[in-house]
Amino acid sequence: MKPDTALIHHGYVAPQDFQSPQIAVHKASSVFFPHVKAMRERNWLDKTGYTYGLHGTPTTFTLEERLCQLEGAKHALLLPSGLAALAQVNLALLKSGDEILIPDNAYAPLKSLAEAELAHWGITHQYYDPMNPQSLAESIGPQTRLVWLEAPGSVTLEFPDLPALLRICQSHGVLTALDNTWGAGIAFSAFNCLPDDSLDQRGVDISVHALTKYPSGGGDVLMGSITTCRDDLAKRLKLSHMRLGFGVGGNDAELVLRSLPSIGMRYRAQDASCRRVAAWCLQQPAIAQVLHPAVASSPGHAHWRDLCAQGLVEDAPVHSGGAAASLLGLRFHPRFKPSQVDDFCNRLTCFKLGYSWAGPISLAVPYDLKTMRQMADPSLLEGGYVRLSIGWEAADDLTEDLAQALAAFTQEN
């Protein structure tokens, strides 16, 4: 054997008895079979064997199993981003002529996916007001196949009555898919959020996560997941996943596996910091409204309490129980000019200007809600709006940064 060939056919075998906290990173396109019979018989659909890197490796299968553990789900799929996971659910389950319903405050790229790509394929959509279950009930028609849910809504963080929305969908026999990135499997249980024991199914049909956020936690990975307890849906999703080639690489899967054991600690620590920042923001005269589900005056606070804080009643401006992701929205007084809100953002130093959330560094994004929302409470659209994502910095440093940036509102520009 020539050295070039010997290097490639080196007699490496994976170690059998090497136990350590993290699993090995397995990367492959090709996976070898001992003979043709094995090649023909191995079934990539049931996870009893490996066939090709795109269909799974020991590393990606382990991550899928752990995500099932986190959520109490039976099946999981990994995709290259959270948005890819949202797209995959639509592509796997819908056909031309079907209709989907999307909450008005949904993650905006899901709305543009529906408005552009899905519309091209003859799949229609309607928006519903997630804060008014009747709006959902009235929107469900004969062509409605799938209802998207988000708790709370992206950007403005209004918390819907999720059990009420689910009951409506179940009574119409319509599939439900929740973008569960905010809850992250920590704040509430997507597959077990209906209290009625007599129900066959006590939660959503499908849960989607942007693993990019809390599960990865480092602000350095893009990945998404789809989980379900239903065998029939899992099969349809997996087939579509295979046909579209939405697999993920081993290195990225390993990064999520490394962060996943600390997700509960990070979620709760960032939550505590975020609530301190929210309480401080409530005291600031330039800020007309603080949006965060644990803030008593925030839309849907009672629904959040029922689902995520076990119905505890607490007479405080910011509820201290339960769990919430570390996002908050600031609506500034309408008397301030948009340029002052921009100036506020530009003055921030500890907070960086950037998209995404749940990573180590606190982030700020200004939004023009008027261009994003059709059914919002009109008062929400008055004044500039900035969403903050709270990272791992000390809360005092963050409020100090906000305090110096608020000087933008005391100056004319």
Interface with ligand PLP (CB under 6 A): 81-83, 107, 154, 179, 181, 210, 212, 222, 224, 356
Nearest CB to ligand PLP, comparing residues 61 and 357: 357
Bridge partners (DSSP) of residue 289 are 331
Nearest CB to ligand PLP, comparing residues 54 and 222: 222
Three-state DSSP class for residue 128: strand
Query: Which secondary structure element, helix H or strand E, spans residue 403, and what is its range?
Result: helix 395-405
Nearest CB to ligand PLP, comparing residues 181 and 270: 181
What sign for the dihedral angle of Cα 303, 309, 310, 311? Answer: negative
| Residue in the shown chain whose Cβ atom is closest to ligand PLP | 82
Nearest CB to ligand PLP, comparing residues 252 and 280: 252
Shortest Cβ 129–ligand PLP spacing (Å): 18
Nearest CB to ligand PLP, comparing residues 287 and 363: 363
The answer to whether 179 and 155 are in contact (CB under 8 A) is no
Report the distance separating Cα 237 and Cα 226, nearest Å: 9
The answer to whether 208 and 79 are in contact (CB under 8 A) is no
Shortest Cβ 51–ligand PLP spacing (Å): 26
DSSP state of 262: G
Pairing of strands 144-150, 352-353: unpaired
Shortest Cβ 356–ligand PLP spacing (Å): 5
Shortest Cβ 309–ligand PLP spacing (Å): 21
Nearest CB to ligand PLP, comparing residues 212 and 273: 212
Bridge partners (DSSP) of residue 124 are 99
Shortest Cβ 90–ligand PLP spacing (Å): 13
Residue 367 CA to its chain's centroid (Å)? 19
Peptide bond into 15 cis (omega under 30): no
